[in-house]
Amino acid sequence: MAQSGIRVYFDGLCHLCSREIDHYRTQRGSERIAFVDITAPGFDPESEGLDPVRVHRAMHVRRADGNMAVGVDAFIELWEWMPRYRLAARVSRSPVPRFFLRVGYRMFAAARPYLPKRGRGCEQSPYCGLPDKKDH
């Protein structure tokens, strides 16, 4: 990650999440983004200053200034770093679109634990079966 970049923490066991991250990795601007799979063996959320349960409930992005964006705010932060998505980020900051994005993300976050997992299987992560998968 470049010094002025961001860190995106994502669920690598989730098919949909991984496909989306794979797409973002191909976009201009992604060279300044570190994508961190929170389900990878050896990932230690506490060493990253993250709550081990909360990081598995919603996507997190550590901004260049060290502050954290969570859920929809994490996506908006990510989109800001890629020229192709800057308009989406700008629109998403408005109250009405942001409201609908938050509702949609909460529904997705609640359903995500029940979606099919990638090949590695859930036994690789102690967080696959977390109850109460709500966005914060």
Domain extents in the chain = 6-124
pTM across the whole model: 0.84
Task: Specify the DSSP element, H or E, that contains 97.
Answer: helix 95-111
Pairing between strand 6-10 and 33-37? parallel
Question: At 99, which amino acid appears?
Answer: F
Helix (H, G, I), strand (E, B) or coil at 60: strand
Q: What confidence tens digit (pLDDT) does each residue in 99-127 have?
A: 999 999 999 999 988 877 766 555 555 55
Of 89, 90, 94, nearest in space to 79 by CA? 89
Nearest to 4 by CA among 93, 87, 80, 84: 80
CB distance 134 to 57 below 8 Å: yes
What's the pLDDT at 104? 96
